[in-house]
Structures are given as structure tokens and as C-alpha cells.
Structure 1
Amino acid sequence: FCFFNSVAIATRLLQQRLDLRRILIVDWDVHHGNGTQQVFYDDHRVLYLSIHRHDDGNFFPGTGGPTECGTGAGLGFNVNVAWSGGLNPAMGDAEYLAAFRTIVMPIAKEFEPEVVMVSAGFDAATGHPPPLGGYKLSPACFGYMTQQLMQLAHGKVVLSLEGGYDLPAICDSAEECVRALLGDDPRPVSQDELRRLPNQNAIDTLQKTIAVQLSHWPILKQTAHLVSCSAMGATLGERDESDTVSAMASLSMQQQASSQLQSPERSREVSVEPMEEDEVK
């Protein structure tokens, strides 16, 4: 599909000219970025994170399985969320939101990139026939993913337009991404998708990816339980957990304060008690 890998070339230039040590590449093109993976497979300075249709190696180009984690110094710096199960059902917003909250963002935040490069292919968007993708992502979902990535690297995020063959889908999706890059709020993801649970094929893929990557990224333990939740359910769950932690911390502080208040009283009680020697006298 590509003769020149603009993201890989730009990343190498950032390393050479600016001496950047931590560059994150997020590739959400529906096809695996086999060239990008190959270029940085042994490079710990570049974290390559791809979300793509894989179908157990039966979807073009067939690379990018979950066990492809890098080699040598780059081991653990190659992460593939390799969707399988074909189009029964097709992946949509709910599945990509689950991937972002349980794998992409936790690992990306742990990595602390100096800049984020995005292989922004839009062939996972609604409107592409099965041979070219067949997935059902909305423009709003692409905007949301961009907005999430803007939390990293002090907002130093670069999107490089890549795959996409349906002109309206490309235009609408790119527009939402630009909104996010400008600091504006993109259109919200639909309530139906926010409430929808990820399909079982997606859950299986995410669980397999976490199992493979856990030794490299222990942070995934904290989000693994959210894999099967809807976006809305995961948000409520995190909020409840945060409230519980805050309540426990508050209770602990109250107990400490109470203990400190009681200690002077105890001290005075001890000081007024007669010593055994005084009683003898």
C-alpha cells in the first residue's frame, strides 16, 4: 500500500536531529504497519502501538500478531492489538474505546513519550467494504482517540494521513481529529456506543494482548478488569474505585488526627499518677 513510510522517516529524523529518546507511534490504520514495525523492532527508544484487523493472520498483510513484541533492546516496545474474528460482528467505537482505556493509554502514559506520531489511516471508518476493512468506526471515535493522545507529550501530537478509500469517511474523520488537535471538543461518541459492551471477539483479543504484554507493562494489571466493560460502565467503575480510595484515605487521616489529639491527654494522665517511690514515702 505504501512506497514511502512517512511516519518512520519522520521518527528517524526526530531521533537524529533532535536526539529524542522516547517517541510513541500509534497506528490505527486497519492494516498492520508491517514496515514501521520492522524498522523499529529492536529500538527501545520508539514504542510502536498498532490497532488493526488481523483475523489470525488472514487479513492483509498478515503480520502484527499479539506475540510480536520486539527483539533485543526493543523487546516490549512493540504492541499489537490484533483484532480477530472477521466481521461477525465488525469492530466499532465500543471496541476501540476499550482498547484505548485498557492498553493504549496505560502503556503510553507509562512510556512518557516526548512526541506522539500517529499513522492516521481512516480505513477502519464506516463506509469501507470488507476487503478494505469493513469496520464501523465513527468520525467521533477518531476525534476522541486524538483527544486522548493530546494528554501525552504536552500535546506534541503529529497526525500523518495514511489509509482510507471512502472520501466522505476520510473527510469527516480527519475533521474531528483536527478539532481535537486545535484543542476544540470533537463531536461526542454516540450514547449507544458508550453504553454498548465490546463484542466477545474484541474481549478475547484484548485479554490475549494483555496476557502477552503484562511482563513488559505491569501497569496493565490495573485496567485488565475493564476489558469487558462499556465505556460508560468503565468510567463509573473507575469513579467508584477512586471514591473508595479517597474515602479510605480520609478515614486514615481522621484516625491519625484522633490519635494525635488523644496522646496529650494520655501524657497528662501518666504525669499525674503517683510514682511507686512516692507511695512508699
Structure 2
Amino acid sequence: MKGNTLTDAVGIQHSPVTESARIVSLVPSITELLFALGLGEQVVGRSHYCVHPALAVAALPSVGGTKKIRHSRLRALRPSHVILNIDENPKLLADQLADYVPQIIVTHPLTPEDNVPLYRLIGSIFNRGAEAETLAATFEQALAELRQVAWLRRRVLYLIWRKPWMGVSRDTYIARMLALVEWETLPAESEARYPVLELNRALLDAADLVLFSSEPYRFQPADLNAFARTYDCPLEKLRLIDGEMTSWYGNRAIAGLAYLARFASENSQRSGAICSI
């Protein structure tokens, strides 16, 4: 977010609401954040991928995915605000929504530290400043505790998709989360933020661990076994990792810091294993 707590990721200045809002969130982690801030009664719609908190969002109408929505369904909800994210929602969708939604709020956290201004942006717009400050203080405490540990530097290949294989560049929120425990994502350089990967021996052997995320592709144990066979890669360097805990910002990022600390501690030893393809 910008320096002013009421300015969003594209520089739009927002005003605090003066009455109850009608909010549609097309960003799963933001939907969860709205409920954490006590705004659940003002959330009137969501995307299909907004799944937390489970019981509460199950009762909300879905307007479609994060890329394509049913505009007629969203119009019928008469939203005063729609919340988007630069990575998850295309600009074309934002432009279309601007034709009939009074307020479009665009978010774009790029680092874990961006969670604090995110809390304050949403909290300030929807008159939940005290709740936002509570989240900010909790997050900052968790972050400080994580930084007190002398983590072992490791190189990791973080996979988010197969057919084709895709990973993350270091210019992503995920990579910067992992960097908090001194884990460097591979490849070291990439023009794309989410590159298609050629899984050659050099890349696989450079990785101390290969991490298989639970989202957007939901890798399963069977995928690790197949990968080990296909690339003659020891299972001891392959791990499933909870993608919600590493890629979701908002209030889930607080639990994400604790999860990452546990995960890094459990995988702190170098295996020395190599793949031979």
C-alpha cells in the first residue's frame, strides 16, 4: 500500500465509509481478513476460491473465479466496494467493474511486511482501525520472533504447477516469505514472476529441497513419489508445503509465520542428496 493508510496499491485515495458497506471480495486472503476485522456482516459476495472462514463464506453467494466473473450476479448484490488484487485479478476485470461499482479497492502486498499497511488500509476504510492495529501488533511480534533465530541458509525449488512445471521468482511474496528463514528460491534470476521451469539436473541438484505447494495446484504425496521416479530424485529432498501459509497475506500471514518457523526447523539439515536425470 502507499504511505497514506487510505491510498490503495494503484494510488487511489479512499474515504472511510459513513454507513454500512456492501463488500464483495475477489481475493481469498482478503475475504478472510474482512471477517477477522469484524466486517463479516458487510461482506455480501465472494469469489469461488474464497474458502475461509469456511462456515461463514459458505453462506455467501459466489460471483465466479478470480479472473472471470458473472457480472449479472455481482450487479445484483449492489456492492458499494469490490476488493481486488493485482496478481490475482486482471486489470480488464477491474475496468469492467469500475463501470458499475462505486469503489474499487486494489491491493498488492509484495513482502510480508506489507501486511501491516494492508491491515490499516482495510481497517481505515471500513472503520475497523482498532482491530487493524491489534492484527498489526500481533503480526509484528511474530515477525520479530522469527527474525531472532539464526536460520540455516538453504536453496529451495518451490513448485506451484505441473504440466508445465512452474515455480516462483524471488520477486514474489512467496519467495520473500521463505527468505525470512534464509531460504532462497530457485532460479536465482527470472524475468517472469512465476516462471515455467526446465527441470534439468543442474537446477535440481542446486536445490537443497524441492517444495510442492498445496496451491494453486494441490500436490499430493503421490506426486512426490512420481517426481522421485521420473527425475531419479531422492524422496528425502522432496516436501509438501502448505501454500496458504506461504502465499496468503492478511490475518493468515500471522499463522503463516509460525508455520514457516516450524517447517524450517523440521527441515534444517542438509541432505546432500542429488538427483540424476
Normalising by structure 1, we get a TM-score of 0.28
Q: Which has the larger radius of gyration?
A: 1
**Structure showing the higher helix proportion among its residues:** 1
